[in-house]
Amino acid sequence: MNAHQLADKHGMMDRAEVDLLQACARQLPANPVVVNIGAGAGTSVVAILEVAPTAFIFSIDPKAVAEEAQALSGAGLDARRVVRLLGKSQAVGAYWPFPVDLCFVDGNHSDEAVTGDITVWKRQVRPGGFMLFHDYHHYNLPGLSPIVDKAMGDCERVGEARFLVAFRITEGSK
């Protein structure tokens, strides 16, 4: 099952959001490092690997989520390209050892958690890399968009689809 089919099945992302994520992933360098915060149904990791098969994805979630591994297997993608890190994303990122090319944020949506994810992960993303936030402008999460807008104001907004917004990290942004 490909990313569009997963989006149709689970409804957490839609096809336009998958397309935006894939458009960003297509621009990554060879062998990119990707951080995926919030495993969910695995739609995001499948979407990334479909267009960037040499990506190495660190998928962070506080609990084991079998659906992500099942989605990778069902899509015929190399599950060895995805490492699951169990824990809170801010704790995992606090001592992150290397630069990130793309960070997809779809974890805990509380104001505190989103602020923490941005604080910890934005500085890990290389200039020219991407940060994407799911559930942006979601009607159940009115506090999310202002937090993202304020924190990412020094970056280039490169796209928006339904509840997903994408930014390119610019030189000098913090």
- Tell me the percentage of the chain whose pLDDT exceeds 90: 93
CA 12 to the chain's CA centroid: 13
Q: Do the domain assignments include residue 173?
A: no
Q: Do the domain assignments include residue 11?
A: yes
pLDDT score at 174: 74
Token pair, residue 95, equals 């001592």
pLDDT score at 44: 98
CA angle, 53 as apex, 163 and 123 as ends, to 5°? 55
Which CATH number does the domain housing residue 44 bear?
A: 3.40.50.150
For the entire predicted model, the pTM comes to 0.97
d(CA 158, CA 95): 28
Q: What pLDDT, in 10s, does the model give residues 90-107?
A: 999 999 999 999 999 999
Residue ranges making up the domain that contains 161? 3-168
Q: Which of 60, 58, 57 lies closest to 37, judged by CA?
A: 60
Q: Do the domain assignments include residue 130?
A: yes
Confidence check: pLDDT of 33 > 80: yes
Q: Do the domain assignments include residue 22?
A: yes
- Tally of domains in the chain: 1
Confidence check: pLDDT of 46 > 80: yes
Confidence check: pLDDT of 84 > 90: yes
Q: What pLDDT, in 10s, does the model give residues 116-162?
A: 999 999 999 999 999 999 999 999 988 899 999 999 999 999 999 99
Q: Do the domain assignments include residue 174?
A: no
CA angle, 50 as apex, 47 and 56 as ends, to 5°? 85
